[in-house]
Amino acid sequence: MQKEPVIVVGAGPSGLAMAACLNHHSIPYVILEREDCVASLWKKYTYDTLHLHLDKKICQLPHMPFPETYPRFVPKHQFISYLDDYVSRFKISPLYRRSVESAEFDEATGKWTVKARNLGSDEVEEFKGRFLVVASGETTNPFTPEIEGLDSFPGEVLHSTLYRNGKAFENQKVLVLGSGNSGMDVALDLANHGAQTSLVVRSPLHIVSKDMVHWGLVLLRYISLKMVDKLLVMLSRLVYGDMTKYGIPRPEEGPIFMLLAYGKYPIIDVGTYDKIKSGEIQVLPGVSSIRGNEVVFENGNTHAFDTIVFCTGFKRATSVWLKGDDYLLKEDGIAKQSFPNHWKGRNGLYCVGLARRGLNGAGFDAQNVAADIKSLQ
């Protein structure tokens, strides 16, 4: 008898990893993707200078390493090529332009019913199966915070998903809101293109290099997290010095602890800090309000800008369409349970890539989910 397919929501790297692992076990599946391509965030909504900040060996998806010819830190265009090759190798064929509107478990039949709107025909399609995998990613819907007076700003306002490069902003006064890795990368790119760049830093930050992170992750296999954090903070102090004089205090908790406990990634420096030290990038405190082209900051100072770029991350809409789950995912769409048992819910519900553990974590999840489904069939 033909097995019902596993229903996978999302065709980003997490969904592709899930598909490959199900393929590996000869388990049928269907992937529902709201965009018109795989890895839409990478292909349509990222800036040109984006690279993987971690070694390619840590970022490869299951059952297919990166080509030997790829550099250690893979740039955007090569990562997209890798994902396209991954799709071809494992014969992954998502159903595109399917926006999931509801997913509900039926106790009587023991199956999930997923309703998705076909954005081409505007019809609602129904899918049923014993197993449902949420692989829609941590970076789903762009988030822009509400700021008093933002609608009075006469210049250009854009989210990082619409930013490609700084060519159009030469000699402009540009404010970057958000000091995560995307904010740091965008600020650096703007400065390199001759923009007068300011960067809002509201919270203490850990700044580390790519090599520091790499060796920190290696050392985690052999020594305690607390010891690794102490080493990383010590190395950061040696390399970057006292950052408070540039408006960037260090947190009291360690970088790896903060990543695992709060999902807050350390800043992996690719040149931004040198621009901050040289004064080419100005660090400013949080924004209080906006009055026309003038931005009022929490310290009472005001500065005029031509453009504002929001690098303020994403929200997830899983809680809107996933019905009846109070175990697997939190309200914000991130895994509720602790690693390493965060990927398995109840009634055949799973999640992949929602534990703030990057591409490596998504691969770990996908392999575990596929093996678990195989054991239940």
Question: What pLDDT sits at residue 1?
Answer: 42
244-297 pLDDT, tens digit each: 999 999 999 999 899 877 778 899 999 999 999 999 999 999 999 999 999 999
Q: Percent of the chain scored above 70 by pLDDT?
A: 99
**C-beta of residue 60 within 8 angstroms of C-beta of residue 363:** yes
**C-beta of residue 100 within 8 angstroms of C-beta of residue 126:** no
Residue 3 has pLDDT above 80, yes or no: no
User: Distance between CA 220 and CA 215 in Å, rounded?
Assistant: 9
Question: What pLDDT sits at residue 223?
Answer: 95
Question: What pLDDT sits at residue 2?
Answer: 52
Question: What pLDDT sits at residue 236?
Answer: 96
Each residue of 312-338: b (16+ CB within 10 Å) or e?
bbbebebeebbeebeebbeeebbbbbe
Task: Look up the pTM and report it.
Answer: 0.93
Which whole number is the average pLDDT over 205-216? 93
User: Distance between CA 300 and CA 317 in Å, rounded?
Assistant: 36
Residue 338 has pLDDT above 90, yes or no: no
Amino acid (one-letter) located at 48: D
User: Distance between CA 68 and CA 61 in Å, rounded?
Assistant: 15
127-177 pLDDT, tens digit each: 999 999 999 999 889 999 999 999 999 999 999 999 999 999 999 999 999
How many other CB atoms sit within 10 Å of the CB of residue 136?
29
217-240 pLDDT, tens digit each: 889 889 999 999 999 999 999 999
Each residue of 55-85: b (16+ CB within 10 Å) or e?
bbebbbbbbeebeeebeebbebebbbebbee
Contacts of 357 (CB under 8 A, 6+ apart): 339, 364
Task: Read off the pLDDT band of 367 (50, 70, 90).
Answer: very high
* Residue 112 in tokens: 């999930």
63-78 pLDDT, tens digit each: 999 999 999 999 999 9
Q: What does residue 102 show for φ and ψ, rounded to 5 degrees?
A: -160, 150
**C-beta of residue 198 within 8 angstroms of C-beta of residue 282:** yes
What are the angstrom distances between the C-alpha of 75 and each of 19, 50, 52, 320?
Answer: 24, 6, 6, 34
Which whole number is the average pLDDT over 93-110? 96
Lowest mean pLDDT among 14-23, 89-98, 350-359: 350-359
